[in-house]
Amino acid sequence: MVEWWNIALGRGGPDGMAANPRTITDVQATILSAHENSTVEDKISFYNTWSKLYEQDMKLLDYQAPLLASTCLADVMLEDRDQALVLDVACGTGLVAAQLQKLGFCNFHGLDGSEEMLHLAQSKSLYQSIQKCILGAESLPLSSGGFVCMTTRSNVSNQLYKTQLQALMEEMEQKRLWVKVKVQEIELWEKATSELESKGDSIYIPGTIYIYQKSRIQT
């Protein structure tokens, strides 16, 4: 029986992009404007609008999450990668799947709330299925024994969310819903979108990768 190997990852930037007419200042302004979105509908609209510039912008930010998280997952799953079914949650334009494919994974199923992001992901012919899904509003198929890989930024403005996320993960671990496999802190996650977010003399913000394995026996 093939398990679901589930991946909930932040979106990232691709390799080999063409010349980008936008500047880091443009990208910073775009990302900061996202904080003005208060409802789910606002956020979906934001990503639909941003989708065509998204990959270029993430390249400018030197966003490392897809590469780093994919490598981290591959390090704990050394066998049967070609048999694993990858549920790519918040798949965006398919950048995580592209990285995982290079590491031997080939069965991808993508979920995202943005129709325009999904359209671009579908065009890459990486996914066996694509589905619009609003995270938090619909349940996800998490098979027993499967791996869950999550990432989050560790910059100043994201500390509250990170603390809440870690508390939730620890609660699930205490309930024996899953076990912690690996936590990796990354110093050079992406370029900061403001001077207040950078750490010391670095122009980058840090991030964290979490890998858990869902318990085969629920209690």
Region 3-9 average pLDDT: 43
Rounded-to-integer distance, Cα 97 and Cα 64, Å:
14
Give the model's pLDDT for residue 168.
86
Residue 147: name the closest of 171, 172, 179 by CA: 179
Q: Dump pLDDT digits (tens) for 36-85.
A: 767 889 989 999 999 999 999 999 999 999 999 999 999 998 889 998 88
pLDDT higher than 50, residue 5: no
pLDDT at 54: 95
Q: How far apart are CA 201 and CA 8, in angstroms?
A: 31
Residues in a beta bridge with 212: 148, 180
Q: Residue 142: what pLDDT?
A: 63
Helix H or strand E encompassing 67: helix 65-76
- pLDDT tens-place string over residues 157-169: 889 889 988 998 8
More confidently predicted of 196 and 148: 148
Residues 181, 147 contacting (CB under 8 angstroms): yes
User: Can you give the pLDDT at residue 16?
Assistant: 42
- The larger pLDDT score, comparing residue 120 to residue 192, is at 120
Domain 4-214 class in CATH: alpha beta
Helix (H) or strand (E) holding 131: strand 127-132
The pLDDT confidence band at residue 141, using thresholds 50, 70 and 90, is: low
